[in-house]
Structure 1
Amino acid sequence: MYNVMLVDDDFPVLELLSEAIDWERLGLRLVGAHENGLNAWEQAQRQMPDILITDIGMPRMDGLELIARIRERKANVRMAILSCHSEFQYAQQAMRLNVQDYLLKDALNPAELERLLAQFKSSLDQERQSSWQQSQMQQLVQGTKELQIEKWVRNLIQQPLLSPEQMKHEAQALGLLREGEACLPAVGFIENYRQAKLRFQSDQTLRFAVLNVIEEVLQSAPVQGLKVGYDVKETFLLFTYKPSLKTNIYDQAAQSLKAVQAALNSALKLQMSFIMEESSASLEQLKQRLASLKDSAHQRFYLKEGSVVKRQAPVKRSGDLFSYYDQASGDFREVLLSKQPEAIDAVVEQWAGVVQSDEFAPEAVKDWVLKLLLDLRLKLQSLQLLRPGLSAETLHKEIVNIDSLAQLKLWLAEHMKALVTLAGKGAGTTVRSEVMEACQYVSLHLDRRISLEEVAESLHLNPSYFSRLFKKETGESFIEYVTRMKMERAKELLDQTGHSVGRICEELGYDNQSYFIKIFKAHTGVTPAEYRG
């Protein structure tokens, strides 16, 4: 499938082309429909199109500038201009930018555009086949080397060093610890892994995307480095260099890691934090320092998102987190009973500050938070303010995969806000427990597409039955409910953040910004920009 982007400040034209073209039949995917060049450029930096259909005269950034910028990033994008302008100079300038076609809106027939798109796809197929054949051997060699490095690092960390000479010979063959060289290891952690996995749909896709971006950055890094995809959450980077008084390897490595962070944020909208170890001049030192990085869970838990720091040994604390339990439980119970979800964040932040100040053991913190959440659920149920919902086992599976205090804060706030929403409905109403669980599911997954089928499956119900049940119990269809919740969340983000409309659109799981704007206006009577004022 090839990605197509439409850009035109005439919304009816966007809507017509979006709906009139059978994208899937053509083997294409419409990834964006934007009403100005700047919004299209912002998306293109994250997700470069294969085919661009754009108007010329638009606010904020015109079509010719958009074409020039995209062409700099990806030379083989197929492009066509769709415009009311018939003047020769526009076509002339478009030809200089290597635009493949120039279409006039006044005479445009969607069937004509379909024929052009089919031609674009055919040429892309030929190009892809040719480049695929040329790169197969190169990828095979590179992939084999990467697997060898991963296997070697795993053996070094996990196995006793029984054959140091053989391991050293293998290291040198892989480009590590050669004569006169040292190695500085670092480990990177994906922030907010739960949401990242949902966006990329699988660990394999996420891991592949992250390693590709890191590889591209390392090719132009100030110091030579190797990437090792230890697992989907953790990536090792091994920087090799020749020690000298003129070389500050920590500064150079930190510079490279910050470049990786910037590239991941720009290309994939992911954040990664890094911990660096001391340099290693021998195999024994490298084994010890890789193991130390692998066991740096405590430092990683309290690491500020987006950090690049040196490894520090954890300091043993004598405090007892559970001595605060009654006070914390009272604070959360009060805000839940007040039914004010906007107050949740402040209470979560307050108690996260207590945890941060004493740096309690991460596992103890997660046990404390899980007990807090489960006890509050039971309390609300005993007051007949809440029906039974997610099981303790489900919550435990979620929290065990949380690796940082920042992620734990988000997780706790999400569940607490869901409790406030459900408690507001009350257990004394006639709403069925399955419907209340579906509402909670929606509250926790507003950042992505939510289908009726997946929610029905999570409740072990037939989709048709669940659809009828939801409508009967709530008075609105499931899709209407999801849309209403997303629009309410959109209003919160517009009120409380400075995020662009495009970013809010993505954070709520919408691919098409124009469609998002249309739905928002239908819900509120104004566009997002007008709502923000």
Structure 2
Amino acid sequence: MYKVMLVDDDYPALEFLSEMVEWDSLGLQLQSTHENGLSALENAQLDMPDILITDIGMPKMDGIQLTQKLKEKNPNLQVVILSCHNEFKYAQKAIKLNVQDYILKETLDPDDLSSMLLTYKERLDNEQKRKLNDVKMKNQLKKNEEFAKSNFLREIIYHSNRSQDWYGEHHNLGFHLKRANYMPILCVMDNYLSAKQLYTSVDTLQFVAQNVINEIIEETNSNIIYMSFEENKSFILYPVQQTLKENNYENAQVMLKKIQYSFSKYLNISVSFLIGEYVTIKELKGELKSLLSSNHQRFYMDTGSITRKLDYTETNKEDLFSWYDEASMELRNLIFEQDLNSIRPTISKWTQFIKEKEFSLESVKEWFLKLLLELKVKMQALQYFQSSFNVEALHQEILYIDNLHELKEWIINYFHSLINIKTEVTDQSKHKEIMDACVYVTKNIEKKLCLDEVASHLFLNPSYFSRLFKKEMKKTFVEYVTSVKIERAKELLDQTTEPIGKICERLGYDNQSYFIKLFKNHLGCTPSDYRRSKA
């Protein structure tokens, strides 16, 4: 709704216009009324009107001076001059100020004024539409330019071998590769999965990010080139100054810190930068590909980093899976004990261990994915719930994450969701005792377990507990314990090199032959055959 300001030192005139014009029906808001120009000007400093209706002759500041000052602040201000003066010089001044109408008070008709105001409202509407269209057109042009740059970048990296033609080939796209050395910089949005949730679409996020970076680049050096590449990755080509006075790396750092500050302040997003080597145009393709393939370094970079690219010839050859069994038990207990307070410290402990050892990116993702999938199967086997995370979605999300800190936060959120769902289902269960019994079995799987012991733990009569368990689980308590122990035996056979006899002891069996017989009855093969088939 457009705002109207009334200014006249004749109070009856102010009152007359305030009451006689039906502002709401015209789609206008009577913002304020004033008895002199100075008061109106002071108010407009805080709340600029869209339409001004003012007398000419007033104390402190007349209507012509008021119009002039407000027009300086808002050239599109619609103005009606009300006056008792019929002299040409006043009308001439009003015309010079591009005043829409000059009306004598003695001939003023409220209906005529209402018609004028509707005309002004239509003009303002049209101007607003024009500005909106201009903004849309500029934004579309920017998007087209960024799209062209992105395509050009892919051509450089994946297709083109014609570096000598790059200089003029895309000159009309608004960026110009000169015959100079560049320092390519890979820009990566940290915690991208979370960042996407802050915006209505990926396109919106990319557009605002591009605007922030381009604005700072324009302030820094017009020869710097920015090109988007993927959803969360883009490149800056920083021109190298070959002089002793210039420290290109430090100068680039200053600009990158400004970008980080703006991302944090305006977008609430962290961004990291990986800086490449100085290269010529002909060497640019190779260095861009090298930055993109620096997955190992980027995986272990802290959020908000600005660092030079390192060459990793090899990664830690230790077997991360030798710690799998220990981690699996710790994470499983988090769920069983519904220990929300221990989630972050436990996950942080393991991710810090991984960071210190710098295992390969692929092995870390495979390790965590196996842990989470195994946990999901365990929870379903215990009949707790059907997790809202399906296997394919879990696999895709973990594969998409390319930073250890982001992976840690994602896993922490995942565990919070699991525990919250488990707590809700447990609270709603008619036979919470059976779920508690299953948890007790799983947590004490490496001990000898008997029905009386578990019934006592639950403060239940053994006979009643036995009947209730079979009714709920569709198998006897002994059958259930055996199936859980066999599953645990499979894990130990898969993840450790312990001999069969040791695994038998760990699961609470005194007789190895009996254990082998149980295993074969369940799986159709002996523990040794099972291990060989998985080798």
In the alignment, the residues of structure 2 paired with residue 376 and residue 276 of structure 1 have an alpha-carbon distance, to the nearest angstrom, of 39
Query: How has the CA–CA distance of structure 1 residues 123 and 357 changed in structure 2, closer, same or farther, with 3 Å as cutoff?
Result: farther
In the alignment, the residues of structure 1 paired with residue 31 and residue 358 of structure 2 have an alpha-carbon distance, to the nearest angstrom, of 58
Query: How has the CA–CA distance of structure 1 residues 80 and 350 changed in structure 2, closer, same or farther, with 3 Å as cutoff?
Result: farther
Number of residue equivalences? 338
Find the counterpart in structure 1 of residue 502 from structure 2.
none
In the alignment, the residues of structure 2 paired with residue 387 and residue 135 of structure 1 have an alpha-carbon distance, to the nearest angstrom, of 46
Measured after TM superposition, the shift of residue 414 of structure 1 is 1.0
Find the counterpart in structure 2 of residue 334 from structure 1.
333
In the alignment, the residues of structure 1 paired with residue 211 and residue 151 of structure 2 have an alpha-carbon distance, to the nearest angstrom, of 19
Instruction: Output the amino acid matched with 1:94.
Output: N
Kept after mapping to 1: 8 A contact 2:334/2:342: yes
Find the counterpart in structure 2 of residue 170 from structure 1.
169
Kept after mapping to 1: 8 A contact 2:199/2:205: yes
Query: How has the CA–CA distance of structure 1 residues 121 and 367 changed in structure 2, closer, same or farther, with 3 Å as cutoff?
Result: farther
Please show how residues 385-400 of structure 1 align to structure 2 within 5 Å: 385-400=384-399
Query: How has the CA–CA distance of structure 1 residues 225 and 387 changed in structure 2, closer, same or farther, with 3 Å as cutoff?
Result: same
Measured after TM superposition, the shift of residue 187 of structure 1 is 1.0
In the alignment, the residues of structure 1 paired with residue 165 and residue 224 of structure 2 have an alpha-carbon distance, to the nearest angstrom, of 22
Q: Deviations over 1:380-405 (max 9, x none)?
A: 33334444542211211221211211
User: Which stretches in structure 2 are left out of the alignment for 5+ residues?
Assistant: 3-26, 52-116, 431-535
In the alignment, the residues of structure 1 paired with residue 429 and residue 228 of structure 2 have an alpha-carbon distance, to the nearest angstrom, of 51
Query: How has the CA–CA distance of structure 1 residues 303 and 81 changed in structure 2, closer, same or farther, with 3 Å as cutoff?
Result: farther
Kept after mapping to 2: 8 A contact 1:384/1:427: no
Please show how residues 414-429 of structure 1 align to structure 2 within 5 Å: 414-426=413-425, 429=428
Q: Deviations over 1:413-438 (max 9, x none)?
A: 1111122222223469459xxxxxxx
Q: Using CA pairs under 8 Å that are at least 6 residues apart, name the structure with larger relative contact order, 1 or 2.
A: 1
Instruction: Output the amino acid matched with 1:99.
Output: M
SS at 1:95's partner residue?
A: helix
**Bigger radius of gyration among the two:** 2
Find the counterpart in structure 1 of residue 218 from structure 2.
219
In the alignment, the residues of structure 2 paired with residue 225 and residue 80 of structure 1 have an alpha-carbon distance, to the nearest angstrom, of 50
Measured after TM superposition, the shift of residue 98 of structure 1 is 5.0
Find the counterpart in structure 1 of residue 127 from structure 2.
126
Please show how residues 141-180 of structure 1 align to structure 2 within 5 Å: 145-159=145-159, 161=161, 163-170=162-169, 175-179=175-179
Measured after TM superposition, the shift of residue 234 of structure 1 is 0.4
Find the counterpart in structure 1 of residue 44 from structure 2.
95
Is 1:308 the counterpart of 2:257? The answer is no
Query: How has the CA–CA distance of structure 1 residues 164 and 423 changed in structure 2, closer, same or farther, with 3 Å as cutoff?
Result: closer
Kept after mapping to 2: 8 A contact 1:386/1:427: no
User: Which stretches in structure 1 are left out of the alignment for 5+ residues?
Assistant: 3-25, 27-78, 103-115, 432-533
Measured after TM superposition, the shift of residue 365 of structure 1 is 1.1
In the alignment, the residues of structure 2 paired with residue 374 and residue 122 of structure 1 have an alpha-carbon distance, to the nearest angstrom, of 63
Query: How has the CA–CA distance of structure 1 residues 380 and 214 changed in structure 2, closer, same or farther, with 3 Å as cutoff?
Result: same
Aligned-residue CA RMSD (Å): 3.8
Kept after mapping to 2: 8 A contact 1:188/1:275: yes
Query: How has the CA–CA distance of structure 1 residues 274 and 265 changed in structure 2, closer, same or farther, with 3 Å as cutoff?
Result: same
Find the counterpart in structure 2 of residue 239 from structure 1.
238
Is 1:292 the counterpart of 2:290? The answer is yes
Q: Deviations over 1:96-142 (max 9, x none)?
A: 3453399xxxxxxxxxxxxx9xx999847624514744994x66765
Query: How has the CA–CA distance of structure 1 residues 416 and 122 changed in structure 2, closer, same or farther, with 3 Å as cutoff?
Result: farther
Query: How has the CA–CA distance of structure 1 residues 419 and 388 changed in structure 2, closer, same or farther, with 3 Å as cutoff?
Result: closer
Kept after mapping to 2: 8 A contact 1:177/1:240: no
Measured after TM superposition, the shift of residue 147 of structure 1 is 3.9
Query: How has the CA–CA distance of structure 1 residues 134 and 213 changed in structure 2, closer, same or farther, with 3 Å as cutoff?
Result: closer
The correspondence for 2:281, drawn from 268, 279, 283, is 283
In the alignment, the residues of structure 1 paired with residue 50 and residue 170 of structure 2 have an alpha-carbon distance, to the nearest angstrom, of 53
Query: How has the CA–CA distance of structure 1 residues 333 and 218 changed in structure 2, closer, same or farther, with 3 Å as cutoff?
Result: same
SS at 2:273's partner residue?
A: strand
Measured after TM superposition, the shift of residue 406 of structure 1 is 1.1
Find the counterpart in structure 1 of residue 257 from structure 2.
258
Kept after mapping to 2: 8 A contact 1:80/1:99: no
Q: What is the TM-score when the length of structure 2 is the normalising length?
A: 0.56
Find the counterpart in structure 1 of residue 492 from structure 2.
none
Find the counterpart in structure 1 of residue 380 from structure 2.
381
Kept after mapping to 1: 8 A contact 2:387/2:418: no
Q: What is the TM-score when the length of structure 1 is the normalising length?
A: 0.56
Measured after TM superposition, the shift of residue 291 of structure 1 is 0.7
Please show how residues 54-69 of structure 1 align to structure 2 within 5 Å: none
Kept after mapping to 2: 8 A contact 1:177/1:183: no
SS at 1:370's partner residue?
A: helix
Query: How has the CA–CA distance of structure 1 residues 186 and 81 changed in structure 2, closer, same or farther, with 3 Å as cutoff?
Result: farther
Find the counterpart in structure 2 of residue 35 from structure 1.
none
Kept after mapping to 1: 8 A contact 2:182/2:281: no
In the alignment, the residues of structure 1 paired with residue 125 and residue 248 of structure 2 have an alpha-carbon distance, to the nearest angstrom, of 43
